[in-house]
Amino acid sequence: FQKTGAPRPPSGKDLHAYPWDKSSLKSMPVDLQQFEKLDAYALKVNVKNSVEDLVTALLKQARTDLEKVRAIWMWICHHIEYDVVGYHNKSQLSCKAIDVLHAGKSICEGYAELFEQMCSIAGIQCMKLSGYSKGYGYKMGQTFTGDSDHAWNAVYLDGRWHLLDSTWGSGSVDDSFTKFTFRYNEFYFLTHPALFINNHFPDNSNWQLLKPTLALKDFESNMLHNSNFYMLGLLTAHPATGIIHTENGKAAISVDSRSSMLFSFKLKGIQEHGLMTLKKHGMKLEIYPQKTGSHKLQIFAKPPKAPDDVYNCVLEYVIECKSVDKSRRFPKDLHQPVGPSWFSERQGFLRPSHLDPIIHSNDGRCSLTFTLGKDISVLASLHSDNSRLTEDARRRHIMQTRRGNQIELKIHLPHAGDFVLEIYAKKKSDPGNYDYVFNYLISCLNTEVKWPAFPQSYSKWAEDYEIVEPLSGLLPAGRNVQFKLKMHGIAKVLIQAESTHPLTLSRDGYWQGTCNTSGCAEVFVMVHENANHSFYSHVLKYEVESQ
Cβ atoms 396, 389 nearer than 8 A: no
Instruction: Point out the catalytic residue in the list 14, 39, 165, 418.
Output: 165
Please give the biggest Cα pair distance in the chain. Answer: 107
Tell me, yes or no, if 165 is annotated catalytic. Answer: yes
Cα 338 to its chain centre, rounded Å, is 12
- Beta-bridge partners for 369: 408
- With beta carbons less than 8 A apart as the criterion, state whether 258 and 25 touch: no
The CA distance from 132 to 219, in Å, is: 10
CA 105 vs CA 71, 96, 188, 254, 296: distances in Å: 18, 11, 19, 40, 34
Cα 102 to Cα 50, 97, 99, 105, 124: the distances in Å are 8, 9, 5, 8, 23
Q: CB within 8 A of 104, min separation 6: which ones?
A: 48, 79, 80, 81
Which is catalytic among the residues 108, 126, 366, 444? Answer: 108
Check residue 123 and report its DSSP letter: T
List of E strands, 322-405:
349-350, 358-360, 365-372, 376-383, 398-403
The three state secondary structure string of 181-248 is EECCCHHHCCECHHHHCCCEEECCHHHHCEECCCCHHHHHHECCECHHHHHCCEEEEECCECEEECEC
Contact 178, 45 (CB under 8 A): no
Type of residue found at 70 = R
- Reduced DSSP (H G I as helix, E B as strand, rest coil) percent helix, strand, coil of the chain, to 5: 20, 35, 45
**Which of these is catalytic: 16, 78, 79, 150?**
150
- Whether 108 is catalytic is yes
CA dihedral (130, 26, 209, 318) positive or negative: negative
**Strands 537-544 and 474-475: what pairing?**
parallel
Strands 282-287 vs 262-267: parallel, antiparallel or unpaired: unpaired
Beta-bridge mates of residue 383: 420
Secondary structure of residue 2 in the 3-state scheme: coil
Evaluate whether 93 touches 106 at the Cβ level (below 8 Å): yes
Task: Work out the end-to-end distance of the chain between its first and last CA atoms, rounded to an integer number of angstroms.
Answer: 104
Active site residue 335: no
Strand partners, 367: 410
| Distance, CA of 11 to CA of 139 (rounded, Å) | 33
Whose CA is closest to 541, among 459, 444, 438?
459
Which residue numbers are catalytic? Answer: 108, 150, 165
